[in-house]
Amino acid sequence: MPSFKPVMVTTTTATREEAEIIGLKLLEKQLAACVQYDTIRSHYVWQGEVCCDEEIRLTIKTARCHYKKIEKIIRTHHSYDCPQILMLPVARGFMPYLRWLKAQLGL
């Protein structure tokens, strides 16, 4: 069993419904301990045009060893051609929270 390395994975979706479908699938499969949803406004360039959209940002609390499965679920249930999927390492954290996170992931 690899050592526990906590990470946060972020993605954005076009709708809250899409975000919650992804989040609930990750929780049901014990690939995330917590998923947070924030409404944001994004400016970005897509196919040569500047766009501005309301989006839902998911912050997925998980472990590094689950990244590939998380990416697959996001890609399967995502409506974007090229979704943002970023994994951010957690360098430090409150130890009781990190123990809870590890336990929720079954690690």
pLDDT at 2 (0 to 100): 59
* Mean pLDDT of the region 58-81: 97
Q: What is the pTM (predicted TM-score) of this model?
A: 0.94
Tell me which residue of 89, 80, 92, 97 sits closest to 11, measured CA to CA.
80
Cβ(10)–Cβ(32) below 8 Å: no
pLDDT at 13 over 80: yes
Residue 60 CA to residue 87 CA, distance in Å, equals 9
Structure tokens at 99: 């123990």
Identify the H or E element spanning 98.
Answer: helix 95-104
- The encoded tokens of residue 57 equal 């940002």
Which tens digits make up the pLDDT trace of 37-64?
999 999 999 999 999 999 999 999 999 9
